[in-house]
Structure 1
C-alpha cells in the first residue's frame, strides 16, 4: 500500500513540474512575440514622430532659402540701412511663427532683426560659419533672452558676381513645436550629438543627458536616478522610476535623423506584453491541470472498471460458446435471405419483361396490320413503277419510288419501336426526351387505339423536354397507361383519350380517358389489383404496379384519380368534353438539366 501511495505522489510531482515548465515556455514564447509586435509598433510610432518633427523644421529651412534671394535682404546688405527692414522681418516672423529672423554681413555682425539687437556678432556659431562659406547651416541652442531652446537655419546671400554678401538666419522656438506633443503616447524624445534631450513629449525629460558611453539618462543636476538596462532577444529594455508619466519598464528604440542633427528615441511600455504572456501561460497551466485532473479521474475509473471487467470475463467465457453458435446460425440465415432477395430481383425483372411481351402480344394483330398495309402498298407502287417505265414516264415512276421509300421508312420506324420496346433495359439513361418517348408509345398503340374506336387528342410540345429516366422502361409505362385507357372505355359511347405534357412547375405527363373512372384509387397500384372483368381483356393486375415501381426508380411519382377529385390544375373537362366522368393518370418526372446542375 505504501509503495502504491509513494508512486502516485511521485507521479503527481512529475506532472506538476512538467506543467510548470510548459507554462514557463509558453510565457517566454508569448513574451518574445509581444516584444516583436511592440518593436514593430514602436518603429512605426518613432518614424511618424520623426517625420513630423523634420517636416516642421524643414518649413523654416525653406523660408530661409527663400529670404536669401529676396530683394529686401539684398537692399539691407547693399545700403547698410537695417532700420528700414525691421518691419519687413517682423512681418515675416509673425506670418511664419518664427522666433526671429536675422540678416548678418560677412563678418557675422547682425544688421537687421525684429528681436535681436543690431551689432551683435554671431561669427562663432557653427551654422553661421557654414552659411558664410556658401552652404546651408543649421544647429540648435539658446536664443537669449527669447528662449533656452531654439533651432537655427542659415542660408548664404550671394551677389551678382557670385560672391557671398552675408547670410539670413531664421530661428525656431522648440517650445512651440513639442508643446502640441505633450502627453501623447508613447514617450518620445530627441537628443543631440552630446546626448542632451532637446525635444520631448514629456517635459520632465528636457535637458536630461545620456552618460558618456552608457545607456539611459540622468537629470541636468547629475543626481542619481533608478535605472538599469538589459537585452532580450536583441531588444533593449530600460527599467526606470522617472515619474508617473514614464513607464517603469519599457522597450527603448532609436532612429538617427542626420538631416536635422538629432536622434529620435521612444519608450514603449512592456507591461501589456507581460500581462498577455502571463495570461496565456496561466491558461495553458489551467488547461493542463484540468486535463491532469480528468486523466486522474479516468485512471481511477479505469482501475475500478478493470476490477469489474475481471468478474465479467468469467461470465462472458460461459456464454461465448452459445453466442458463437447463434452467430453461425445468423450468418446462415443472412445468406439464405440474400439469395432470396437476389431471386426476387430476378423475378421482378422477368416480370417487367413479361409485361412488355404481354402488351406486344395484345398489340400483335394491329402491328401485323400496320406492317402488312405498307407491304401491299409497296407491291402496288412497284408494279405501277414498272409499267410507267415501260411507257417511258420516268417522272411517274420516280413518284412511285418515292412513295415506296416513305412506306419503307414507316415500316422501319415501327420495327425500331418494337425492338426498343421489347429489349430489356437495366440501367436508366441520364437524359430522355419525354416528347419522343410519348410519340413512340402512341405509334406502337395506334392500331390498338383505332381498333378500340378511341379518339386521341395530343398536342406535343415543339421543343424536346428532357427528363431523368430510361427510354425503354418509360415507354413501357406510357404504353401500359394507353392500353389500360382503351380497355376502360370499351362499350362507352364517347371514347376519347387526352394526352398532355405540362412543364409549368415540373414535368408531368397526363393521360385522361372518358371511361367509368377508378373504383378504388388508393389500391389501383397494388399488385394483382384489376378492374377487368373475367372473360374480358386478360390481365393479372400487375401492369400499374410495375409502372409504379419504374417511375419510382426514376425519382418520379405516378398518381391515379377520378376527374371529380382531380387536382385543380388538371385538364379542364370544358376543354375536352367527357361523357360521364373518367379517370386521369399523371406521371411526374424530374428535369434532367436540374439534376445535372445539382450533381
Structure 2
C-alpha cells in the first residue's frame, strides 16, 4: 500500500468516525428531548385531568344528601304503609315532583321493599316509572342491603342515562326492622358532558369495567376501552346498565399492526382491569393513529378520567432537536478539522522560523501556552455563565408554572359557585325563551320585546362571568405596566362574587384613591387579591360575628398599601411562623393546597413589594380576625388610566 493510499484510507476512516459521532449525538438528543417533552406534556395533561375530575366530583357531591333528606318526608312512609291509598299516592307524587323540580333532577321515585315503584315525579308523563320493578338495579340492591346505592346507567323505562342514588326508608317506630322501601333520584350529567365537548381535549369518562359512558366525542359513548370479558359483559347485561348498547371495543388497530403500542389491547377487560395505555382511534376532525392515554381516578364508583394525547408533536419536536444536535456536531468537527489544518500550517511555519531564529522560538512557545490557558479559562467562565442563565430560566419557569397552578386551583375551589351563578340566568333564559315562543303565537309584541330585552341582559351577565374566568385562567407571561388598583379590585371582586354569595359574607370596599397606581401585571395582582379575598371569606364565614370583610387602599409617599381585614378567629401562634410556607394549610382536605399565600408572596416580591399577615389585636384593634397587607411601589402617571 502506497503512502497516498494509506492517507486516503485514514481520511475515509476519520470521515466515517465523524458520521458515527454525529449519528450518536442525534440519537441521544432525540431520546433526551423526547423524554423531556413527554414529561412536560404528561404534567400538563395531569393538571387538566385533575381539573375535570374536581369539576365532576363537585357536581356529584351536590346530589349525595338529597335522597336522605327526601326520605324523611312522612307522606312517603304513609304510602309504603298503605300502597293502595290513592290520596297518599297523589301526595307522594306531588312531593316527588317538587323535589325533582327544585333540585333540577331528571326524576325522583319511591319503591316498596320488592322494588315496585309506587310513586314518581313523572307519574303524569308517558314514560312514568309508576308500576315498574327495579329490584334488579344495583342501586336498589345496595340501598336495601348497605344503606346507600349509587349507579350510573341508561334508564330502563325512558332510555335516558343518568346518575342514580338511592337510600332505604325505615319505619321510625321500628328502626330495627328491615326497610319498608327505598327512595331513588336520577341526576343528569348532560351539562358536564357538554363542557367536555367544549374543552378542546379528547376526554373520556369510563366506569370500572372500562366502558366509556361520557365523552367529548359522542360517537364513542358506550364503547369499551378494551374488549370486555364474558363475566364483565354478563354483569352489565344483567343490570341493563347501558341498555342494548353493543359495548364494542373503542380501539380498532390496523390489521397489519394490532396492539402495536401496548399489549393491553389484546386482553379482555374484566372488572377493575388495567385500562390500556394507548388507543388506535379516529377523533373528530383528526386522522386515525395511536394516541397515548392518561388516566385520573374520580368518584366513589371506580370511574376514571381518560385524556388522549397525540405523541406526534413531541416526536416532531424531538426530531428537530436531533437534527440540531447532528448539525452542531458536524459544525464542531468542521471547526476542529479547520483548527487542526491551521495548526498544521502554523507548525510548519514555526519550524521554518526555528531554523532562522532560534532565540525567538521560546518566546513563541510561551505565547501559545499562555493563549491556550486564557482560552480554557474563558471557556470555563462561559460554561459557568450559561449554567447560571439556565438555573435562572428554570427558576422563572417553575415560578410561572406554580402561579398558573395556583390560579387553576383557585378556580377549581370556586367552580361550584361559578356554576351556580351560570345556572340561575340559564334557567331564566329557558323560561323567557319558552314565553317568547308563546307570545309570538299570540301576537303580543310589547311583551315579546320585554322578554327579548331580559334575555339579552341575562346573556350579557353570563358573558361577563365567563370573560372574568377566562381572563383569570389565561396563562400570563410576565410583563409590567401601569395597573390601577381600583380596576384590579373590581375584577377580583367580580371573580370572587360566587364564592362570597355562597359563604354569606359581605365585602365592604373603602374608596380607592385615584393615584393608587403600581407598575406590575394586572392578572397577577388580581390573583393575589383573589387569594386574599377567598381566605378572608372562608375565615369570616367559619367564625365571624359580623361576617364582613373590609378592603381599604391607601397611598403613602411612594407606596400603595392594600389591607384585607376579616372577622374570623385570627392567625393561631403556631401557624404564624409557617404562614407563607408552600403546601402548609389549616383548611380541611380538599379545600386548599396550601399554595395561595406562598404564590401571592412570590408575586408581590417579584414586583418589589411586600406581603404581611397579622392579627387585628396585634395592630391595636380589640376585635378578632386577621389583616393581610400588600405594599407595592407606586408610580406617578402624567395622565390617569381610563
Superposition TM-score, scaled by structure 2 size:
0.45
Structure ID, larger Rg: 1
